[in-house]
Structure 1
C-alpha cells in the first residue's frame, strides 16, 4: 500500500463527510432565509471556485481538505446592506441559528444511518456468538466459561453478533469491577461475572483476548507453507513444510497458537522446535517488531500457514437477513450505540480512565482508510460510517469554535433573552482555539509515535 493510495483513500473518505457536514449548515440556512456567501470544502488557498449566477453563492475547493466552512451574511463580519439585514445570520431568532448550526453534525449522523442501512440489507452468513476457545489463566477461565457457551447478553444488553458483543465490551474500557455475561449452555442460561481492572487501558489486547474467550476458529495445522524472503524465520533456517511443535517448550496445537506467541514476542529470542523430514530440529528465531496503526508493536516471523479447505460446523454459523425496515432499525441502533460509546470514551479520557495516547489524528485516519479500502467496499463504507458518527459527535461537544460551543451560546441566549456578550465569546474563542490546537498537536504526536 503506497502513499498515493493512502492519500487517495483518505480524500475519498473525508471529502464526502466534510462536504455533507457543510451541506447541512448550507441547506438549512438557505431554507430559513439566511443569505449564504461562500460554500467551501477545505481551508486555505482556493484551488477551484465558481459563482452561481442565480444565487450569487461562491462555491470553492480549498487546499487543506481537513474541514470546510459555510460563510453567511453577518453584521459582525462586515457591512451589510439595509435591504439584506433580514437575511443576516446574526439577526435570526436563536432557534433558527440553533437549527443551522446543529444541521451539520446531525446530517453526519443521518449519513451514518444510511450507510449502516446499506450494509445491513444483504443477507450475511457469519459466526454466531458461540465461544470457540477459552484462553487459560484469564477471567473467562477463572469463572469456568466453556467452549460451546453461546453468549446472548453483555451487562444486560442483548448481543446477536461478535461485532455488537465487542462494542458492548469496549463501552467498559478503563473500568474496574465485573462484566456480566449471560450465556446459553445445554438449554440453560448461565450468568458469569468476569473481573476486570483498568479494562483495555493499554490497548495491547483485544477485549476478547483480555477477557479470555474467542470466536470459533477452524483448526489450521502449525505447518509452514510459505516464507517471506526477508523474514526472520528464513534467515534462521526455517523451511517450507516445517511443522512447528513447540515454542520455548510450550506445545503448539495449531497455527493460531503460533501466531499468538509470536505476536506477543517482538524482538525476543524464541526457541522453536520443528519437525522436518521426520526429524526434530531446534531453531532460535527473533521475531521482528512491527508497529500497527495504534502504535502497538507485534512480532513477525515472516511465515504463513495453509488453512486448506475451511469447513465451519453448523452450530457455530448463523445467517442474518433483515428486511428494509428491520435494517433501518438496526442502522439507527448501531449509530446510537457508537455515539454513546464515543461520548463515554471522551468522558473516561477526561477522567483519566483512558490514556490520551488513544487520540488519533489525520495520519492514523488516512492509514486506516487505506487499509479499509484494500479490504473491500463494505469495510470502507463501514469505516466511513464510523468516521461520520465521530465527526457528528465531536462537533457537538460544548467547546467554543466547534458547533457545540455555538449551540451553548444560543441556548444561553434563549434562557437569558439576550445574546452572550462579544467579550465572553472572544474569551471562549481563545480557550477553544487552545483546546483544539492542543488536541490536534497531541493527536499528531500520537500519529508520529505510531509510525
Structure 2
C-alpha cells in the first residue's frame, strides 16, 4: 500500500513539476536534452525527434529537465560547453536566454504544483460546498474547560470572552485554534472581556501529543477550552468563490509550513519531525487506504509542499536559481562562474545532508523499528 500510494502521489506531482519547466522552456525555444523522473542510472527511456531523452531513472527522489548548456541535472552552467556553442546555435541554450525568460522557466515548476493544489481545493469546495454556522457566528466565549487546562490554570474563567491573542483579534474559536495549535509551549497573552472589563492574561500554551489511527504522533498546542455547541451546514459555492476559498486554504497551509520550518530551525520543534520520501510513502499509503477523498486532499498538501521546498533559496533548488537571477538583476551582470560553482556545490551538499537526515528520521518512524 505504501508503494502504491507513493507512486500515485510523487510520481504525477514530480512529472507535473518538471513538465512545467519543460513547457515554458519550449515556449521560449530552449532545447531540452533530458527529461527524467528520478535520478541516477536510467532504467528505461526513449529519444524524441527533437533530441530530448525521456527517461525513468533508478532513484525515485525527484526529477529534472536538463536544458542545453547545463553541466548537470542541477542546471549548473557549463562554462566550457557554453563557450563552445556556435553563435547561431545559442538561441536554443537556456543560459543565453534573457533573464526574465530564465526566471519564468525556473518558476514554472513550483507554479504548476501550486496550480494543482489550487485546482484540488477549488474542486472540493465546488463539490462539498463550504461550512457555514447556523445562527449567530460562533462566539469566543469560554463555555467549559478540559480536564487539564492551561487557560484555567492561568486564571481564565467560564464566561470570559477571548477577544485577542497577542494583540491579534479573534472572532471565532477557529481563530483561537489557528493561534494556538501550531505553538505548543509558547507564552502568549490573552485579551479577555470579563463583565465589560478588558483583562490581559499571560498563559503558556500546553504541549500535547496526539496520535492518529495509524499511530502517527504529532505535537500540538492546547489551551484546554471547547466552545458552546455550534451547528454548521454546507452551503454551495460557485467557481469564483471556490477559487477564493482555494487561495485562502493554500495560504493557510503555506503559513503552517513556514511556521514549522522556523520552529525546527529555532529549536522549538525537533528535527525528528522532518520527513522525506519514505515518510511520504507511508502517509500516502495510509491516506490511500482511507478512500479517494482523503487521498486527493493529501495530494494537494504534498503538491504545495513540493512548491514550497523548491522555492527555498538553496542553490541547486529552483529557489536558489531565482536568488541568483535576483542578484543578476540588481548587479546588472551574473554572479561569476566560480561563485556559482561554489554555491551550487554547497547547495547540493546541503540537500544531500538533509536527505540523509530525513531518511534516518523516516526509517526510525517505520513500524518495523518501533516508530
SS at match of 1:195: strand
CA contact (8 A) 1:135 1:141 kept: no
SS at match of 1:118: helix
CA RMSD, 1 decimal: 3.4
Distance in 1 (alpha carbons) for counterparts of 2:219 and 2:267: 20
CA contact (8 A) 1:139 1:194 kept: no
How far residue 126 of structure 1 moved from its aligned partner, in angstroms, is 6.7
Match of 2:328 among 407, 413, 427: 413
How far residue 319 of structure 1 moved from its aligned partner, in angstroms, is 2.3
CA contact (8 A) 1:412 1:419 kept: yes
**TM-aligned CA distance change 1:41 to 1:215, over 3 Å:** farther
SS at match of 1:388: helix
Distance in 1 (alpha carbons) for counterparts of 2:184 and 2:111: 26
Distance in 2 (alpha carbons) for counterparts of 1:95 and 1:201: 47
How far residue 215 of structure 1 moved from its aligned partner, in angstroms, is 7.5
Distance in 2 (alpha carbons) for counterparts of 1:150 and 1:379: 35
Alignment of structure 1 residues 3-402 onto 2, 5 Å: 5-53=1-49, 55-74=50-69, 76-77=77-78, 78=81, 79-123=84-128, 134-142=145-153, 143-144=155-156, 146=158, 155-156=168-169, 166-172=177-183, 175-178=186-189, 195-197=203-205, 200=207, 207=220, 210-214=222-226, 315-402=230-317
Q: Residue deviations 1:18-38, cap 9 Å, x none?
A: 011111111111111211121
How far residue 80 of structure 1 moved from its aligned partner, in angstroms, is 3.2
Structure 2 unaligned spans of 5+: 71-76, 211-216, 367-371
Structure 1 unaligned spans of 5+: 217-312
Distance in 2 (alpha carbons) for counterparts of 1:215 and 1:398: 42
**TM-aligned CA distance change 1:327 to 1:69, over 3 Å:** same
What is the TM-score when the length of structure 1 is the normalising length? Answer: 0.66
Distance in 1 (alpha carbons) for counterparts of 2:87 and 2:40: 31
CA contact (8 A) 1:17 1:108 kept: yes
CA contact (8 A) 2:32 2:52 kept: yes
Distance in 1 (alpha carbons) for counterparts of 2:234 and 2:151: 27
Paired positions, count: 341
Distance in 1 (alpha carbons) for counterparts of 2:161 and 2:56: 52
How far residue 323 of structure 1 moved from its aligned partner, in angstroms, is 2.0
Distance in 2 (alpha carbons) for counterparts of 1:109 and 1:167: 22
SS at match of 1:122: helix
Distance in 1 (alpha carbons) for counterparts of 2:163 and 2:240: 23
Partner in structure 2 of residue 286 of structure 1 = none
**TM-aligned CA distance change 1:44 to 1:71, over 3 Å:** same
CA contact (8 A) 1:139 1:211 kept: yes
CA contact (8 A) 2:274 2:358 kept: yes
How far residue 195 of structure 1 moved from its aligned partner, in angstroms, is 1.7
Distance in 2 (alpha carbons) for counterparts of 1:62 and 1:179: 54
**TM-aligned CA distance change 1:321 to 1:159, over 3 Å:** farther
Match of 1:446 among 336, 346, 361: 361
